[in-house]
Structure 1
Amino acid sequence: MRKQAVRRKTYAVRKPKKKAAVFSGNLFRYSIVAFFIVLMLGLGYHYRNGLSYYFGFKSDKISRANREAKRISDVRNFQVLEKHQGKSIGIDVSEYQGEISWSYVDTLENKHPLHYVFIRATVGKDRKDRKFEKNWLGAKENKMIRGAYHYYRPNENSLEQAELFIKTVTLQKGDLPPVLDIEKLPKNQSIANLKLGLKRWLHAVESHYGVKPIIYSGESYYEDFLKEEFGDYLFWIANYNFYREEIAEDWLFWQFTEKASVPGIKGNVDVNIYNGDLQQLQFITVE
């Protein structure tokens, strides 16, 4: 009798799963979280003075939805102003600020005196700022150094724009030089023609007032289109970025925020730092 062959069952031995991949993934996530924690702690330490001041002592009447964003802006403003002790501080206004009570416009945060104001006078070739005359007179009565600026429209005739500004603004002894505000690129002309138009405006205004105008623009616009070809002019630069905390050496004025609160003015106001003290500011005024 034949013996039946007995087949033994074989079982596959399962190897334990490697934990390295899981561990590696968790380590990566923990590293990211740790990085952001360290970053936030670093920012908190860097802005500790401003945070202490604003979160501890300042109260405002801003809606809850905008309060945190405004406080972050205020912290930066505080930090920037602290770094520029001794520099001359001023503002710029237009019809968008509405009715201004000029007798109350004196200090920023009850600490930093406001020495000067730039006031929008004209826009393009055919529009005067609706509050210019009131603001121009109010600033003078409030004994602030005042300056007038023109908002340039790239697609309109440059000499007509210069003519409107000249007809609108009468500069007196002690006023700041006229300002050309250029922020937009042209739609229907080349950059070369834009620069030609800007030069025509600048030359016409300088010829009339006998003083070289100042050019206002954003930092990127300044770097890309104006810095090299308009190097003979002084610049007023706008930069609100959180990383920028000090005025550049080659800037005459720095508009560092568009979200400041000033007594006598409802809503937000632009604030500027002059690259010098009050005496140096008076030196560049019209004689």
Structure 2
Amino acid sequence: MIRFLVAALALCLLTLTSACAGPRFGDNDPVDWDGPPPWNYDIHGIDVARFQNDIDWGRVAQSGIEFAFIKATEGGDRLDPKFARNWAGAAQAGVRRGAYHFYYFCTPPEVQARWFIRNVPREGGALPPVIDLEWNPYSPTCTTRPPGAEVRRQARVFMDILERHYGQRPIIYTTLEFYRQTGIGQLNEEFWLRSTARTLATTYPGQSWSFWQYTGTGVVPGVAGGVDINVFAGNRATWQRWLRARTR
């Protein structure tokens, strides 16, 4: 983390450009970016699940974090035990929050959508729901990898159901491996993309995106241990326009 902070400060002193703009957070495993670094962006957020234990959302908000995607459900019958606490805590601290669902390819999309709706309230001010699409080779129950056309069909079914219920089109979160193997980028949807060693222009060339998950080992006050940190694609004015268009 010290090397990360020193490098960032040196960049600011040498360039005196927009590299000094926006909030910056520590990282337990920093990288040398191949393009504009993530701290160039104005709007930073986190995504969390039970692994982060109890979060001090007041400290999170004071640190400069402005949004959070909170794990709610998985498959057709699993609820994150920290979801209700995180959902309420983020809202109380003034952190914009949305819920995400980890998708299983062994359960029909209709069943998973109903499970998400059963557990995630339809509340004003919430960010759009998220469908987390990635392979899960460590699952004890579901390692199925359908062909790309089937993956895309199931994603559309799930997203259509959620859109009808929440009045918001869900966002797709995905990883580079899943993106390349399934052609999920063929869908004309809004994306949240993971890339923790290279910029998105390198890893997902030509793909539009709204959110970039740039580390899984970030350091944020109020969160114990490493945490995923993300940025929004635009500046602060663009963020406000996005919120007006995409929140309930």
Equivalent of residue 93 in structure 2, options 142, 145, 150: 142
Alignment-derived partner of residue 34 in structure 1: none
Asked whether the equivalents of residues 159 and 204 of structure 1 are also in contact (C-alpha less than 8 Å), the reply is yes
**Deviation of the 1:275 alpha carbon:** 0.9
Q: Does 1:103 align with 2:68?
A: no
CA contact (8 A) 2:102 2:133 kept: yes
What letter is aligned with 1:253? F
Higher RCO (CA 8 Å, separation ≥ 6 residues): 2
Q: Is there any run of 5+ residues in structure 2 with no aligned partner, and where?
A: 12-26, 137-142
Deviation at 1:73, TM superposition (A): 1.1
Q: How does 1:116-265 map onto structure 2 within 5 Å?
A: 116-184=67-135, 187=144, 189-230=146-187, 232-241=188-197, 243-244=198-199, 250-265=208-223
Alpha-carbon shift at residue 48 of structure 1 (Å):
7.2
Shift, 1:210, TM fit: 1.6
Change beyond 3 A, Cα 1:228–1:285? closer
Query: Which one has the largest radius of gyration?
Result: 1
Corresponding letter in the other structure for 2:127: L
Specify whether residues 106 and 198 from structure 1 end up closer, same or farther in structure 2 by C-alpha distance, changes over 3 A only: same
Kindly state the Cα deviation for residue 74 of structure 1 after the two structures are TM-superposed: 7.0
Aligned to 1:270: 228
Give the Cα–Cα distance (whole angstroms) in 1 for the partners of residues 230 and 175 of structure 2.
Answer: 13
- 1:196 is displaced (CA, Å) by 2.0
Q: Percent identity?
A: 31
Relative to structure 1, the CA distance from residue 144 to residue 71 in structure 2 (aligned partners, 3 Å threshold; closer, same or farther) is closer
Q: Taking structure 1 as reference, are residues 132 and 164 closer, same or farther at Cα in structure 2, changes over 3 Å only?
A: same
Q: In the alignment, which residue of structure 1 is the partner of 2:21?
A: none
- Equivalent residue of 2:98, what SS? strand
Kept after mapping to 2: 8 A contact 1:183/1:217: yes
CA contact (8 A) 1:107 1:262 kept: no
* Deviation, structure 1 residue 283: 2.4
Moved more, 117-126 or 192-201: 192-201
Task: String of CA shifts for 1:173-206, please: whole Å, max 9, x gaps.
Answer: 2211110000017627443333222221111111
CA 1:284–1:270 in structure 2 vs 1: closer, same or farther (change >3 Å)? farther
Structure 1: give runs of 5+ residues left out of the alignment.
Answer: 1-43, 54-69
Task: Give the TM-score taking structure 1 as reference length.
Answer: 0.67
Tell me the number of residue pairs that the alignment of Structure 1 and Structure 2 aligns.
Answer: 216
RMSD: 2.7
